[in-house]
Every structure is written in structure tokens, then in C-alpha cells.
Structure 1
């Protein structure tokens, strides 16, 4: 009877982890779309400042930022700092998007996991809509995660059983 219950639990566990695993490529895609949208918006805002720099600072955004920050008026200094942060943000978003989209799937997953932007991930999760993509990467990810989780579960149970067996024989 225990073996039957354990078998059913294993199947449910496998199915659940498989479904969660196939969500990773979908989440990554929605994350990339959010990232691209933020990059587009930030670039659009920065280009307006670049136009001003083109007109008044010989096209040098750095010169414009430096002069704004060297100004004595607090609002001009704050504007210079804002432009500088926006410029850094555009570079960061562009670099991050390139990292997770220009590589093969496994490298993209690695880059996504290790360089995840918490703010963008949180926004993606808030609006995430689950889907089961019928593509090889999604199915392979789901199957790998499910098999790995099932093997990990079995190894943990085996370790626990051996620990209790050795304690039982020590007590006797």
C-alpha cells in the first residue's frame, strides 16, 4: 500500500515540477519583453536629452551633464544627475538584454538566472500569464527539472532511511 501511495506522490510531484519547469522559458520571454520595453522607453527619454546636447553642447551628452552638475542652481544639478542616471540605465538595460538574448538557450538560462534584475523580475511576475509552450526548449527544461527534482527527492529519502537505519543499529 505504501509503495502505491509513494508512486502516486512521485507522479504528482513529477507532473507539478514539469509544469513549473516549462514555465521558465515563458517567464524568460515575458521578462525579455518587459526589459526591451523599459530599454525603449529609457532610450526615448535619453534621446531627447541627446537632442538638447546636440543643439547646445556640440553633441556631447557628457559635456552637458558635467555643466549641469557644475551649475550653482540645485534644480539644474539635479537634472544633470537625472540625465547621468538615465544614461547609465540605458547602458545597463541594453547590456542585460544583449546578454540574455544573444546566446544559445542554455547560456541564456544561465545569464537569466545569475544576472536577474529583481525589479524587472518582480514586475514580470506580477503580470505573468502562464502558458505551456510547445517548443523543444520548454519541454526539455520541464523534463530536466522534473527528473532532477524527482531524483533529488529519492536521494533525500534514501539518505534519511540510511540515517535512521544506522541509528537503529547503533541503539541495539
Structure 2
């Protein structure tokens, strides 16, 4: 019985290793999407800034002008442009933090402070890959050991419950 448990635990260990090795790959794909979002917002705001300058306004002045407009559509565009500028600032800060965090810190930073829109888009298009980076191999190994060890401990616990208990000897 315990031999079967070891085989099953090994299988779960392999599954855990494969799944855990995908976390660094997901993080890498997230960083690519993050960069794409920053690039697109930068282009959008550069066009807005050029339009504002051609009308003698700064970005902030143009946003205030739009937001103060009586036309609801124009006012909403001012609110949206301000939200775009704030989001760009947040994403750039997040990207700088991820660059300086190092390989394993990036994964934790993504999980803790990741942009939900970028995370969701990354998840929708995620493609698993073979881990060839240091963090991919380490994450895979940790996933294997964790899944394998947990299942062996669980099997040992279940086996101890099924083992008949020795009865005290009568005197």
C-alpha cells in the first residue's frame, strides 16, 4: 500500500513541479504586457500633450478645461485622460520596482501589487513554457518537493489511522 502511495506522491510531485515552474513564465509574460501597456499609454498621453500645447495648455490645464466643460461627453474625456495619466504613473513605478526586485522578488511583487487589468489579460493569453531560467528551475523543484512531501505526509497519516492499535496486556 505504501509503495502505491509513493508512486502517487511522485506523480503529484511532478505535477506540482510543472505547475510551479510556470509562475516565473507567467511573471515574464506579465512584464511584457506591462511594458506594452506603458508604451500605449505613453503614446496616448504624448498625443494629448501635443494637442494641449498647440492650444497653449499644459496637460494639467487641458484636463481641468475638459473636466470643467458643461458637455458631459467632453467632461468625461477629461476624467478619462486624468485616469490615464495616473495609471501610467502607477504602471511605470510598478515596472521600476519589478526591474529592481530581482527574479524571485518579481514574482512576489507581481502577486502582491500586480495591475489587475494586466494580470487578467496575461492570464487570458498565457501560454505555458519550458522553464529554462534559474527561477523557473528552482520554482519547479520547490513545487515538486512540496507536492511530493505533502502527499507522503498525508499518506503516512492515513496509514497510521488504519494501523491496528496494540491493546494493553492484561495482568
CA distance in 2, matches of 1:28, 1:112: 7
CA distance in 2, matches of 1:127, 1:81: 30
What SS does the aligned partner of 1:102 have?
A: helix
TM-score, length-scaled by structure 1: 0.83
Deviation readout 1:34-77 (Å, 9 max, x if unpaired): 1111111111111111112222244x211111121122222221
Q: Is residue 2:103 matched to residue 1:105?
A: yes
Q: Which residue of 2 aligns with 1:4?
A: 3
CA distance in 2, matches of 1:61, 1:156: 61
**Root-mean-square deviation over aligned CA pairs:** 2.1
1:94 to 88, 92, 98: 92
Which stretches in structure 2 are left out of the alignment for 5+ residues?
166-171
CA distance in 2, matches of 1:68, 1:32: 33
Q: Which residue of 2 aligns with 1:140?
A: 138
Which stretches in structure 1 are left out of the alignment for 5+ residues?
none
TM-score, length-scaled by structure 2: 0.84
Q: How does 1:1-172 map to 2 (within 5 A)?
A: 2-58=1-57, 60-157=58-155, 164=161
Alpha carbons of structure 1 residues 6 and 158: separation in structure 2 relative to 1, 3 Å: closer
Bigger relative CO (Cα 8 Å, ≥ 6 apart):
2
Runs of 4+ off more than 6 Å? none
Alpha carbons of structure 1 residues 126 and 134: separation in structure 2 relative to 1, 3 Å: same
CA distance in 2, matches of 1:120, 1:31: 7
Shift of 1:33: 0.7
How many residue pairs get aligned? The number is: 164
